A and B are shown apart, each in its own frame.
Chain A
Amino acid sequence: MIPKQISAALVVFVMTVLLATAGSTEPMAIIKVPIDRVIDILNDPQYKVAGTKLTQRNQIWKHVGPMFDFDEVARRAVARKWRDFADTEKAAFTDVFAQFLGNTYIDKIQGEYHNEQIVYLGQNYHSEVYAEVKTRIVRETAEIPVDYRMRKKSDDQWKVYDIIVEGVSLVKNYRSQFASILRKETPAQLIQRLNDKLTEQNKRLAENE
């Protein structure tokens, strides 16, 4: 019979090892943990009360925000024109684009969540630093495939750099829009456009509170 303390210590040790490996090596866990939390938040009765939407949105953002590598998202979305951005413009663009994406998509799921189930189909490694997690949103009449493309950062953390919904890459979609805007306008003007859109968005969200 092993003394209690030792077995307790063993359990703690095992948990630590498992958590550590799961945390740093499993791209699917990086997706699943925050998404499950978001679904809990969406179902949480405390947010069914009027005037709690903003708090709920901030809670959701706290969980999904860290899933993403917004530097990478921004850089890939701007693509070849990224070189025309000054360093301060790069930072400003990344920041406003991240906020804009967060607002847009969180508002969408807040308004539209009707007990959809998320099915995790699996993960493919393309190499040691690239992986793809395949999921499916199951609605009452349709299934929407959603794939998360991830890259392992130098700190060993997997981060999402693109989402593919029904075969449509978010990054590529914005890339075509940014390309068409940057053909006529400067990076500063594009940032201004995003800022305007964000302000307008925040105003609308505040009104819907």
Chain B
Amino acid sequence: MVLVIFWITVGTTWAESLEPPMDIPSSEDTDAIFFDPFDDDGEDFYGNEDQMPDMVADPIAGFNRAMFVFNDKLYFWVLKPAASGYRVVVPIPVRVSVKNFFFNLLAPVRLVNSLFQGKWRSAEGEFCRFVVNSTAGFLGLFNLVRDKPSFNPPEEDFGQTLGYYNVGNGVYIIWPLFGPSTLRDTVGSIGDWALNPFAFMQLIQVDAGVLTSSETNIIAYGVRTVNSTSFRIGDYEALKNAALDPYEAFRNAYIQNRLSMIAQ
């Protein structure tokens, strides 16, 4: 009974506290000051089109559109069949472990870029996860700290580091095989590539035999791509079907996604 009365009190005071009359402008009134308060950029909907913050320069649109078609065909003709077959043959725990293994292997990339951006907590999380999973997690096959938020900071890369220091996107580029990028993120990807252990050993001229051969690099990239695609078959199709102008939709999504990652 006490509980019930307590609830009444809480319930009513709660209702009262939210009582103050609110001045809600109708849709038409807000037409002129049409904004989304959650956007930092405070975009002016009726401003100059060229100033849309999500836009990216696309001077090589002809090339990009051709590459968009190329990658689309590559997905439907090669990657999707490969990943679908792989998904049937390889059981989930194995696929998860393959994913974990590559994720762990690339920890140096995320760690270094967390440090570059002065994100000490993230770096600490990356470092601890790397140590735990590389040892107790059998070379990264198991992610033992999956449910610990402090061990799972936002993933950093060199493109984000450059963005963090206010380097702009530059131009939009769609690479064959690798997909959408920008000039900045391409430079970033090259930096990240140099930090992956296979490439790094090559660069500092450590001869680890088969591990440092180009074939190993290519095979590793292929396995990683097919494996990660096996978890997201259908996503690309859904996004494409949801679009009226797929080229524009993917370009905008890429830029928005990168902006949000840099902001994290």
Contact = CB atoms under 8 A, between A and B. Distances in A.
Interface range on chain A (Cβ under 8 Å from partner): 35 or more
Given A18-B7, A126-B38, A154 B96 contact: no
A128 interface: yes
Given A104-B241, A168-B253, A179 B49 contact: yes
Contact of B234 (A25, A112, A168, A180): A112
A9 to B, nearest CB: 11
B18 interface: yes
A98 B53 CA distance: 26
A153 B26 CA distance: 8
Given A80-B46, A126-B37, A177 B244 contact: yes
Interface in B125-175: none
Contact of B54 (A14, A82, A154, A172): A172
B252 A17 contact: no
B260 A167 contact: yes
Contacts of A10: 4, 8
Given A20-B15, A25-B18, A72 B27 contact: yes
B243 A177 contact: yes
A50 interface: no
A122 to B, nearest CB: 14
B260 A2 contact: no
A11 interface: yes
A166 B11 contact: no
Contacts of A129: 22, 24
A140 B12 contact: no
Interface in B1-55: 1, 4, 7-8, 11-12, 14-15, 18, 20, 22, 24, 26-27, 31, 34, 36-38, 45-47, 49, 52, 54-55
A21 interface: yes
A108 interface: yes
B252 A173 contact: yes
A45 interface: no
Interface string A149-186: 10011100000001010111100111011111100000
A5 to B, nearest CB: 14
A59 B151 CA distance: 40
A141 interface: yes
B238 interface: yes
12 contacts: A7-B4, A101-B242, A104-B238, A104-B241, A108-B234, A127-B37, A153-B24, A154-B24, A172-B252, A173-B249, A176-B249, A179-B49
Given A82-B31, A132-B38, A168-B252, 11 more contacts: A21-B11, A21-B15, A83-B46, A104-B241, A108-B242, A126-B37, A129-B24, A140-B92, A140-B96, A149-B36, A179-B49
Interface of B: 1, 4, 7-8, 11-12, 14-15, 18, 20, 22, 24, 26-27, 31, 34, 36-38, 45-47, 49, 52, 54-55, 92, 96, 99, 231, 234, 238, 241-245, 248-249, 251-253, 256-257, 259-261, 263
